[in-house]
A and B are shown apart, each in its own frame.
Chain A
Amino acid sequence: MDRVKSLASAILRDWMLLLGLLLLATVFFMAATAPFFFPQPPDTMMGPPLQWPGQYPGAPLGTDGLGRNILAGLFYGAQISLLVGFASVTVAMVFGILVGAFAGYYGGWIDNLLMRVTELFQTIPQFMLAIVVVAVLGPSIQVIIFSLAVVSWPAIARLVRGEFMVLREKAYVQGCIVVGMSDRRIIFTQILPNAMSGVTVMSTIMIATAILMESALSFLGFGDPNVTTWGTMIGMGKNNLRDAWYIMTIPGIALLLTALALNLVGDGLNDYLNPRLRSQRGQ
């Protein structure tokens, strides 16, 4: 009985990771095959407007108020979500790792200065800062990626700094210092690889947050006007809240599942990369 239970819980845990990976793979598949399945851009009129899902064969998930194919929107929207999510977090990671590594490795006034600046950025309400950056630089995919990176890096910097402060006291790092290895080499070849597991987990979850924030910017109408995103679709669909609620419901579910997938993968990675923590989280 006990064995059955522990087996079930092991499968359940892996099963959640599996579900996450599967969902994520689906989103990637949608992004990759969008032009193949839907040769025409997602903002073209494909049929009569306000067709409910299943009502019109050309658009299995229905059409919006302007007769655009919702399924095509989902496929093309996946491209933008993934692009913005991964690109912004990559930029944030590079910057955050640099700041955190230097602060944690050198300590002292460098640490003090860098961390004060980091805290400062965390003081400014993230989403508002993103809006203002977009307002100043104009709405385009590049600017949105930049604005989300600007609000995302402090969390990574703080995490990396914490890891570096612990790791630099380890005997093997002290050994590297003693044998006269250069700081740059110690930071990037000795400490950083050991600090990456936490960063990887956090980045996965931050991609989800970035995707949600991008969709929020688009929803408000502050996104790149030249592309269709899930956020814009929800924003448009809100005008048909009463008579055609599926228009905003469907892309919302897509967003939810994508974010859920990334969180499941993040949790799974965490269990995999930090098995020590597993006991704290569950059993």
Chain B
Amino acid sequence: MANPILQVENLQICVRKKPGVLILRGVSFHVNAGETLAIVGESGCGKSMTSLAIMGLLPDAVEKLSGTIRFKGRELPIADNRAMRKVRAAEIGMVFQEPMAALDPLYPVGKQVLEVIEEHEKLPREMAWARVIDLLTKVDLPNPETLAWSYPHKLSGGQLQRVVIAMALACNPDVLIADEPTTALDVTVQAQIMRLLKRLQRDTGVAIVLITHNLGLVAHTADRVMVMYAGNKAEEAPTRDLFLSPRHPYTRGLLDATPNPERASAQGGVLREIPGTVPSIADPMSGCRFAPRCGNASELCRARFPEPTIEGAHGYACHHPGTDARV
């Protein structure tokens, strides 16, 4: 295995002072240097909470119950805001979903990129500003010298997201967390942003944690995929393995619900949805949380949570994993 730069072990997050109400129910994964790990799941599955936890930006309403997050071997003090400030942007950068709301409307965009550099590096102003222009050039923004002085309301969503990416990469972090970076953008712009992220990864060697609900996006960009369901890790595999031989019924359901021209005929051209809804986080069920929606669920599934099974690089948590390879 390559060298893991970020390791999350048994992370449990609960509603503050309510240890019974778990948002993350013990999630472990790692990110290798320079790779792209996609975290996939529907809204509310805990994927965004995982990314906020890594940044030490958990909302006041929740808290970490147990688990560790290691970055380059040392544990991140995620509850210590002051200590985490040195990690944010400098070592782990983050890109958010809503570029239109991500920038302070009252400052030129260049200044907001500059702010990151000023906060983390002692650099003469001129040099820092030159870096800002350089960054804006690297994210393919036109006329960076002029654009740096534009206010956010003058830029398009795609341009703003490029600025946010420039901000996240301003101090050459080792990991970039991209939380639904293209969801709020037009389809054509989505592809541009993803290409940009991949190119920047090649140039800088930054590892990317791509958080998304869009499996289509994952297929072309991620090295490995982790599927989450209701606060648990359902399955984790190299992208190709996951798409070709998904083991967890939830993953299979997700794949069936994703448009895919190559497989359209096999499905009879129909997208199948997963029946039922996600259980409430307050529901104290002891078995597999997917059982109520699963066609293969047995008494065992409803009684006991499945321990993870590891087969090489492929891992899943299911009592009755599917085995058939997909077309």
Contacts and interface: CB of A to CB of B under 8 A. Distances in A.
A–B contact via C-beta, under 8 angstroms? yes
In the complex, the 3 A-B pairs of residues with the closest C-beta atoms, listed nearest first: A2-B17, A1-B17, A2-B18
Contacts of B17: 1-2
3 contacts: A1-B17, A2-B17, A2-B18
B109 to A, nearest CB: 29
Interface in B1-46: 17-18
Contacts of A1: 17
Interface residues of B, number: 2
Nearest to A2: B17
Nearest to B16: A2
Interface of B: 17-18
A202 to B, nearest CB: 29
A170 to B, nearest CB: 26
A224 to B, nearest CB: 51
Interface string A1-15: 110000000000000
A8 to B, nearest CB: 16
Interface in A1-59: 1-2
A2 B17 CA distance: 8
Interface in A47-106: none
A2 B60 CA distance: 14
Contacts of B18: 2
Nearest to A1: B17
B117 to A, nearest CB: 35
A2 B15 CA distance: 12
A263 B210 CA distance: 51
A2 B18 CA distance: 9
A267 to B, nearest CB: 25
B19 to A, nearest CB: 12
A179 to B, nearest CB: 39
B14 to A, nearest CB: 13
Nearest to B15: A2
B65 to A, nearest CB: 16
B143 to A, nearest CB: 40
Contacts of A2: 17-18
Nearest to B18: A2
A14 B102 CA distance: 37
A1 B16 CA distance: 12
A1 B18 CA distance: 11
B206 to A, nearest CB: 38
A101 to B, nearest CB: 34
Nearest to B17: A2
A283 to B, nearest CB: 10
B239 to A, nearest CB: 41
A7 to B, nearest CB: 15
A1 to B, nearest CB: 7
A1 B17 CA distance: 9
Interface in A201-260: none
A175 to B, nearest CB: 33
B135 to A, nearest CB: 37
A184 to B, nearest CB: 41
A6 to B, nearest CB: 12
A44 B18 CA distance: 67
A96 B82 CA distance: 53
B271 to A, nearest CB: 32
B17 to A, nearest CB: 6
A11 to B, nearest CB: 20
B63 to A, nearest CB: 12
A2 B63 CA distance: 15
B18 to A, nearest CB: 8
A229 to B, nearest CB: 48
A10 B17 CA distance: 20
